[in-house]
Amino acid sequence: MKITAEPRSDQWNADDFIGGPRTFTIAGVKVGTAEQKYDIELVEGDGRFWRPPLTMLRLLIAAWGDEASVWVGRRVTLFRDESVRFGADAVGGIRISHLSHLPGNKPLVAMLTSTRGRRARHVAEPLPDEEPSPDGKPLSQRITEMVTAFSGMGITEAQITTKLGKGRGQWGAGDVEQMVVVYSAIKRGNADAAEMFPTVADPPEPQPDPPPPADGMASAEQLEKLRNIRKTERLDDDGSWFDYIKSATGARVTADEQLTQEQAGELIGIFNEDAARAAEAGAK
C-alpha cells in the first residue's frame, strides 16, 4: 500500500473552501462510517460527504430539529474557519455561516459546547428561500432530476448549458420548465425538439448484460469493490495497482478479471481490515 499525505477523497475538507464559502442542498443523512457521527450527502457535493463535528451538528439540530428526513432539501452555506484548532495548532475547519428554513427568517444564535466543556456563541444567518420549480419541488432537486433524465438520452449537462447560455448555478424555474418541454417532446419523437441539441447523437443502443464470470473467477460485485479500493488508494497507474495486488495477495495479474473469487475476496478483506483499524485509531 502506498503512503500518501492527501486528504480523504470521499469527504469535503477545510482546504476545499480556501477559495470562499459554498452553498449546498442536503440530499440525505446516514450514520457515519468514519471518524464523525454522521455522513451528510449533498446534492451539489460531487459524490463527497460532509462530516460535521458535534458542534456543527448541534447547530443544525437547533435550527432544524433532530429528524433527519426534515433536513432533506434544506440548504447550508459552509466556509473555512481558520481559527479552528487541533490541540495547540490552528489547522482550520469547516463551519456553517448560513442556513435556510430559519424561524422567522432571522439569524439563529446558539450557545454551544465546543472544546473541553466550554460554550461558545455560534450564529447562522438566514438563506433566502429557494425558488420552487414548476411542479413545486425544490428547484435544485428538479434540476438534478432533469440533468439525469437528459443524460439517459445522451445529452450532457455541458450541452444543456450551451443551449441555455448559462450554467447550472444560474438556472431558474423557467429554465427547468423549458427542459421539461424539450425532454417530453424528444420522448415523443419530435424531430424539431431533438434539433435543439444538434450535437447529440441518437441514444445508444441498449447493451446486453455482461456474461457471468467463469467458474471460480471474481464476480462483478467483487470487481466493482476492487475499482473502489483502487480509487480510494489513489493507485491510478496499472503498474502501481497490480504491484499492490501482488504484495497483498501474491497474485501476478495484469487485469482485475484474472483474479479468482478467493484472491479478490482476500484483497477486499485486507482493505476492510486496514480501513477498520484506521477508523479505530482515529476514534481514539
Spell out the residues 6+ positions from residue 129 whose beta carbon is closer than 8 angstroms to its own.
100, 101, 105
pTM of the shown model: 0.47
What mean pLDDT do residues 84-109 have? 82
The span from the CA of 27 to the CA of 157, in Å, is 20
Average pLDDT, the chain: 78
- pLDDT tens for 38-55 read 999 887 777 889 999 888
Cβ-contact 203, 162 below 8 angstroms: no
Higher pLDDT, 204 or 74: 74
DSSP bridge partners of 132: 138
- Backbone torsion region of residue 277, taken as left when φ is above 0, otherwise alpha when ψ lies between -120 and 50, otherwise beta: alpha
- The candidate with the shortest Cα–Cα distance to 213, out of 267, 266, 255, is 255
pLDDT band at 114 (very low <50, low <70, confident <90, very high): low
pLDDT band at 77 (very low <50, low <70, confident <90, very high): very high
* Residue 264 confidence (pLDDT): 86
The span from the CA of 254 to the CA of 261, in Å, is 16
The span from the CA of 264 to the CA of 54, in Å, is 37
* Residue 87 confidence (pLDDT): 60
- pLDDT tens for 19-37 read 889 988 888 888 887 567 8
Measure CA of the first residue to CA of the last residue in the chain; give whole Å: 23
DSSP string, the chain: -----PPPTTB--GGGGTT--EEEEEEEEEE-SSSSSEEEEETTSTTPEE---HHHHHHHHHHH-S-HHHHTT-EEEEEEETT-EETTEE--EEEEEEESS-GGG--EEEEEE-STT-EEEEEEEEPPPPPBPTTSSBHHHHHHHHHHHHHTTT--HHHHHHHHTS-GGG--HHHHHHHHHHHHHHHTT-HHHHTTSTTPPPPPPPPPPPPPPPTTBPPHHHHHHHHHHHHHTT--SHHHHHHHHHHHH----SSGGGSBHHHHHHHHHHHHHHHHHHHHHHH-
DSSP bridge partners of 31: 38
Cell of 79: 466556509
Cell of 170: 444560474
CA–centroid distance for 161 within its chain: 21
Cell of 120: 461558545
**Residue 266, amino acid:** E
- The candidate with the shortest Cα–Cα distance to 97, out of 76, 114, 118, is 76
**Residue 110, amino acid:** A
* Residue 200 confidence (pLDDT): 41
User: Does residue 98 have a pLDDT over 90?
Assistant: yes
